[in-house]
Structure 1
Amino acid sequence: MLLVLSLAACAKSEAPAATGDAANTPAAAANANTPPPPPPGVDEESASVIANAAKIAAGSPPPVEGVDYATIPNGQPFDPANGQVEVVEVFGYVCPACNMFQPLMRAWEAKMPANVRFTYVPAQFGGPWDRYARAYYASESMGLVPRTHDLLYNAIHLEQTLKGERGEDSVQDIAAFYARFGVDPQQFASTMSSFAIDGKLRKAKQFATRSAIEGTPTLIVDGKYRVLGKTREDQIRILDQLVAQEQAALGAK
């Protein structure tokens, strides 16, 4: 069984407070000049899990509130768009459970219907979580996320060239990672601290608060439903059912 199928999660209380002067932490030099590999494709095992969850969803009764999902009072999509169903993953680069979940989400995104829009929203639980949330929005503003998203997880959890929650990565450390993709590190660091990124972070925090996010990864459908479930595969089944439910509602309008 895939490790990603367990329902481990990273919670608010697990995020350590920042300690010391992070700017004094040198970036890992070993891979500083090594060109990054291309982003990984969808692996067969994750694709199989997604396909199996879709079959189960098609043959299952409707999802049950309080068991399969929680309704978000006065819930609104993170970024409303007419004629589309929004799926949000609230995540954290430093979260080991998010790292394990990412192959499933990549496989799900590759198969999602055309009228579904998938959005990442970084959690801000303090310490390194907040710094990497800034990095996400800086990379998004530069069009880097498709190339860097999976590889930043790898750098933190597999290669360990970045520390994540094991220590403190400075803005310069993080910018050095993105420099591998042709970005000027000073420009990236400046973008991380810009007013535009501050605004994106406020919006993300408001959404997470409204959605009662206590841990990651968490899936939200159309701002209305927070996916529960017993395993990660079960969450994909519930996600499929809620998306189909919202698609039907769109078709009825």
Structure 2
Amino acid sequence: MRIFLALIGLMVSLVACADGNAPEKYQAGVHYTVLDAPVRTADASKIEVTEVFWYGCGHCYHFEPLVQPWKKALADDVNFVQSPAMWNGAMELHARAFYVAKALGVSEQMHGPLFEAMNVAGKRLANEAEIQEIFVANGVDADKFTKAFSSFGVTGQVRQADARARSYRITGTPELVVEGKYRISAKEAGGQPQMLEVASFLIEKVRAERAK
């Protein structure tokens, strides 16, 4: 009997050890990339998830219906932010539109229309006048838009977003960055829904790291 109980105890110990050494579901270098130099987050008290996007990106447009409900379900200790990518002058204009909306307090009001203008209506939004037209059509005062568009505050945020994307070493859009150090692409994760699964995994990983 004692021998039997000892064998049972040994088996339980072996299983526990095996579980403790089991490989993680998502692997660095396979499903996500660990940045060589972590990027400072906006609020160190929270776990940050950043979506890097572009209004003219069809993949980003189709990612929106997935990421919005996921974002709303995040716990209070997670801070979700969006950061526009910009590799040329046109993308800088679109990034400026994003921060103009934030400055005027109409982000929720303008985010969808800006996506739809480029991805549904086929507008290029190649200059300030074309962007202003979208804002005015959605209830934003033209003079307020003009003042915000070239404001010091908006210009500073555009520059910061550009520097942030460079530090993330973004390879395309959309991409997610967790805690300023784990970057996720659809190619690595296996698709857009899987990007969110990997992000959820990394949020838990950061929680565990912080708990230690």
TM-score (norm 1): 0.69
Contact kept? 2:33, 2:183, Cα under 8 Å: yes
Identity of aligned residues (%): 29
CA distance in 2, matches of 1:78, 1:131: 24
Spell out, residue by residue over 1:109-129, the C-alpha distance to the aligned partner (whole angstroms, 9 max, x if none). 121111111100000111321
Spell out, residue by residue over 1:60-94, the C-alpha distance to the aligned partner (whole angstroms, 9 max, x if none). 93421100111112212441331x11000000001
Corresponding residue for residue 194 of structure 1: 151
Corresponding residue for residue 116 of structure 1: 78
Corresponding residue for residue 39 of structure 1: none
Which of 78, 94, 98 aligns to 2:56? It is: 94
2:33 is equivalent to residue 70 of structure 1: yes
Which of 219, 231, 249 aligns to 2:176? It is: 219
TM-score (norm 2): 0.82
Q: Which has the higher contact order (CA 8 A, sep 6+)?
A: 1
Matches within 5 A, 1:1-253: 61-82=24-45, 84-160=46-122, 163-164=123-124, 169-227=126-184, 228-252=188-212
Spell out, residue by residue over 1:165-195, the C-alpha distance to the aligned partner (whole angstroms, 9 max, x if none). xxx5321111121123332223213311222
Contact kept? 1:94, 1:128, Cα under 8 Å: no
Task: Decide which structure has the larger Cα Rg and report it.
Answer: 2
CA distance in 2, matches of 1:251, 1:185: 49
CA distance in 2, matches of 1:184, 1:96: 28
Contact kept? 1:76, 1:223, Cα under 8 Å: yes
Contact kept? 2:113, 2:134, Cα under 8 Å: no
Contact kept? 1:98, 1:216, Cα under 8 Å: yes
Gaps of 5+ in 2: 1-22
Q: What SS class does the counterpart of residue 120 from structure 1 fall into? A: strand
CA RMSD, 1 decimal: 1.7
Corresponding residue for residue 29 of structure 1: none
Gaps of 5+ in 1: 1-59
Letter in 2 for 1:182: G
Contact kept? 1:172, 1:189, Cα under 8 Å: no
Contact kept? 1:77, 1:86, Cα under 8 Å: no
CA distance in 1, matches of 2:56, 2:146: 19
Q: What SS class does the counterpart of residue 76 from structure 2 fall into? A: coil
Q: What SS class does the counterpart of residue 83 from structure 2 fall into? A: strand
Corresponding residue for residue 36 of structure 1: none
CA distance in 1, matches of 2:110, 2:211: 35
Q: How many residues align?
A: 187
Q: What SS class does the counterpart of residue 104 from structure 1 fall into? A: helix
Contact kept? 1:92, 1:129, Cα under 8 Å: yes
Question: How far does residue 251 in structure 1 lie from its aligned partner after superposition?
Answer: 3.4
CA distance in 2, matches of 1:136, 1:190: 15
Contact kept? 2:41, 2:180, Cα under 8 Å: yes
Question: How far does residue 234 in structure 1 lie from its aligned partner after superposition?
Answer: 1.7
Q: What SS class does the counterpart of residue 220 from structure 1 fall into? A: strand
